[in-house]
Structure formats: structure tokens, C-alpha cells
A = this chain, B = another copy of it.
Amino acid sequence: MFAVEVRDHVMIAHSLPSPVFGPAQGMHGATFVVDAAFFTADIDAHGLVVDIGLATEALTAALAPLRYRNLDEVPEFAGKFTTTEFLCRFVFDALAAAARGGGLGDGGRLRRIRIMLHESHVARAWYEADL
């Protein structure tokens, strides 16, 4: 299996309103450094998994709804706990939709995507699944 991974980041605010989250219940925030990995069984005639320019643009587009936002005010997230894990899945779904819509220019070769959010130097989460 081949993979290409690109990196971007977002800075968000949110609250996690349940006693489960202890000191993180109130309004706070995070920088998420985001790695998006794209997997294919083989490389194409140009030696590529995916066009890295398209991959980077697709990641930027997937992160746009989060960038400099208070996630508590994003209608799509109403009633959800916007944990790091949850957001991994959110970004995955956006990139999977982009892939299915042809936005990654791969002609159906993409097999799997992994989205990793680094929330600090000591914690990170990821979601990985086949397309």
C-alpha cells in the first residue's frame, strides 16, 4: 500500500459540556495540526498516489468550516461533543466526499483515508477507514 500525507492546521474554540470532560467543560480552545493521509494500492503513470496540490487544497477546504471558529456556534455540530475524535471523523467525511466527487482527481484509485489531529505535544487522535 502506498500513502501520501499532507499537513495543515486550524485554531478553534469550543466547550465540552459534560462532567465527563472535567476542566475542559467550559469554553476553551485548541490548535489542531491536521495530517491527512491518502492510500492507494499502486501509483499512477506519473508515479503519484494523489496530486499533492489537490490533496492540500482538499484538506484546506475540509478544514474551512472549522478555521477560527467557535464550534459551539456551528449549526452542524449542535448537540454534539466536538472532541478531537469527532473532528477527525468530520474531516474524514469531508475528504471522503471530495474523493467521491472527483475533487482529488484520482479516478477512483483512492482506497483509504486517515485523518490525524494533533492537539498538543502529548496527545493526538485519528480516524482511518476505507473509502
Copies of this chain held together in the complex: 6
B119 touches A31 (CB 8 A): yes
B5 touches A123 (CB 8 A): yes
Chain A residues within 8 Å of B, Cβ to Cβ = 1-9, 11-14, 18, 20-24, 26-33, 43, 46-49, 51-53, 56, 67-70, 73, 80-86, 88-89, 119-129
A27: which of B3, B43, B70 is its contact (CB, 8 Å)? B70
- Residues of chain B with a CB closer than 8 A to A127's CB: 1-3
A26: which of B32, B70, B80 is its contact (CB, 8 Å)? B70
A128 to B41, CA, bound (A): 10
Select the residue from A12, A68, A89 with max chain B CB neighbours within 10 A.
A68
